[in-house]
Every structure is written in C-alpha cells, then in structure tokens.
Chains A and B, each alone.
Chain A
C-alpha cells in the first residue's frame, strides 16, 4: 500500500467512516423494528454513501498513481489495514439501542466536524462539508430524538440504552483525541483547527443524555487499536468480506 500524504489520510478517514457506517445501516434492511425506521436508516445510509463517494473522489485524484485509483477502488479493493474509519462505526449493530447510540455519537461528531470544515481554505473540502452538513443535521436530529425517547422511555428501553452506552463508549476515544497530523494540516492551512471538536462533541452528548436521563461515562481511555494506523477491531474484516465480495470475485463487474 502506498504511503499517502496527511491530507489524503484525512479524506480517507472521513470517507471510510461514512461508508462503513452506511454499510452497518444496510444490515438492517428487512429487519428493522418498523417500516418507517427501516426507511429512515436506509435514507441516512444513502446520504452517507454519497458523502463517502465525494470524499473518495477527492482522495483518488490526490493519489493519482498509475493504477487508475477511483472511488470504487478505494471502497472495494483496499484491505482492512488500509481503512481509516473510526472504530466506533465498524462495531456490530447489536439491538436498536446500540445502533442508535453508535449513530448518535457518530452524527454529533460529523455535525461539529463538518461545521468546522465548511470554513476550510481547501475549497473542495469546504464544498463537500457544506453539502454533507445539511444532510447530517437531519441525521443528528433523528438519532438525538431516539436516544432521548429510549433513554427516557420504559424501564426496559432505559436499561438497554445503558447497556448500549457501556458497549460502545470505549470506542469514542477516537472522537476526542488530539492528533498531530490534523494539527499539521491546520497549520499548513488546509483545514481549520479542530481543537474545539472534542469539547463540542461532548457538549452535545451531555445535552442529549441529560434529556434522556442517561449518565455520561468518564472520559474514555486510549487503547492499542487505532483507525489512524489501520489497527481495527476484528469486526471490520468480516464486514469488508461481505461488502467487497462482488468486486473482488468479479473485478469491474457492471450491469
């Protein structure tokens, strides 16, 4: 795998996270608790696939090697270790509470990150961020409402939400960690400084959890896995095996 520059790595982090989150949402097809929710999840997934494609197209142009890398190559022909998505989004869906908790943490992160990137000097990043932000605003509103409704719902739904938060909270360290590569990118003027992102993300979590009568756990610890170096949990491999099967088995297949 070629060593990409820091901006390309950053674009892949955005694109991969959107694609993997979308793929997890697709797993609910045909088995969501209600038809309206199924349509909701598929709509969010579709938005995210579109966003991933926009980030990938930009990344592919920057990579511009002799292998004709395009958005499809990036999505379907890279191995697990080359993916830069957040650990959070590759976690299994669990029940509806886990799915909505993951979605909410991710939506809140996207919302604040894209709001900052909308002001990027890099016009391409600013344009994709502005476009995506409109969609993500809807996503965040919906997942916040579900967190509130389930957390502040019945005893059963409240317990399930607590379990869900326990299950995925440790992966949120990636949403609040400081990163040297991103700092360098902001110093070189490509993207705005993201120093306020962790605080804003946590503020949204605090606000929604308060309404949902849920407790925000202590700050998560960093552990040995990190999407930035391609060190993923075991779940990404099986997800990719399913998502990439067709393009791996029948390269360049089309209909």
Chain B
C-alpha cells in the first residue's frame, strides 16, 4: 500500500482483510522491547492475538511480569508502529490468562538474547524448576558451563545475575517463569 493510505473499513476507505493481518504481524516483528532492544514483541511471545473488530485492528498482548514498567510503553509502541504502517486507530488490549511463560520466547528470540549477552531461559518453566532453582546456565560470552548465580534478581524483574567462572564476566540470565 502507499504511504498515507489508511486501512479502514468505513465507506471512505479500503476494508481490512486477512492479508492486512499478515502485514500487521510483519510490523510487530519490528516493535522491539525497550529494555532488550534486540528482541521484538513477537520474539518474546507476548502478542497473543491479532484481528479485526468493529472496523479496527486489535492486538492482544500479555504482560511478562505483573509490575513490568515496560508494559505500557510496549503497548504505545505497538499502537504507534501500526498507525505508521497505515492502520487506523489500532486497539491494544491486555490479557492475563494464560499467564506469560518464557516457553513462549521464540528460537529467534533466544538466539538474539544470547548474541546480545543475555543467557536465554534454560529448560521449561515447570513448577519444580521454579521452586528448586537449580539451573545450569551457559555463559553467553564464552560458552562455559562453569557459572554461578550472584543474585536471584538482576537489572530487571525478568533477569537474574550470574558470573562466569571461566571468563570471569558477569552476565544477565533471563530466568524461567
């Protein structure tokens, strides 16, 4: 479509269809997490649904953590990006159930995290691994398995702080939830 042309469903404009949903997903691939700017909202798996309702495109997102301060920023970024791509008044709604899990982070998301220096979540987020907390985390810098946890909580709620005993570099680990 041409720049400035808006995707709408009323009399003046073109109606949105299935192809536009594909287009919307492409736009969402480019909306990055403000804290970890190498992963998109699609990589994180927080986009739960995209569709048409009452002539508007809607996007349903789920927050990563209850108190994540980036949630509102991400919602605004999604709205702005879609609007810039020609969608008229896109709506962004929040959904809590089912609760977000790190299992939804895509393979691409995981490799992007690693390349950025953040160890991706290890294994699945079942209750046992959460409670015991025993996790072998690979150093994203040198690949060594000989690492130790410095703190349960890192620079943001979703990460904990580790140190590599081989290359001695500290690093963030994106913890399982």
Contact = CB atoms under 8 A, between A and B. Distances in A.
A223 B177 CA distance: 39
Interface in A17-47: 36-37, 39-40, 43-47
A127 B99 CA distance: 7
B13 interface: no
Given A47-B65, A131-B66, A40 B97 contact: no
Interface string A42-61: 01111111110110000000
B98 A130 contact: yes
A129 to B, nearest CB: 9
B67 A51 contact: yes
B129 to A, nearest CB: 10
> From DSSP, what is the main secondary structure of chain B's interface residues?
loop
Given A134-B177, A135-B65, A137-B131, A39 B96 contact: no
A138 B152 contact: yes
B96 A131 contact: yes
Interface string A139-181: 0011000000000000000000000000000000000000000
A50 B96 contact: no
Contacts of A138: 130, 152, 175, 177
B155 A39 contact: yes
> From DSSP, what is the main secondary structure of chain A's interface residues?
helix
A39 B153 contact: yes
Interface in A96-152: 123, 126-128, 130-132, 134-135, 137-138, 141-142
A78 B157 CA distance: 29
B17 interface: no
B98 A142 contact: no
B117 interface: no
Interface of B: 63, 65-69, 96-101, 125, 127, 130-131, 133, 150-157, 161, 175, 177
Interface of A: 36-37, 39-40, 43-51, 53-54, 123, 126-128, 130-132, 134-135, 137-138, 141-142
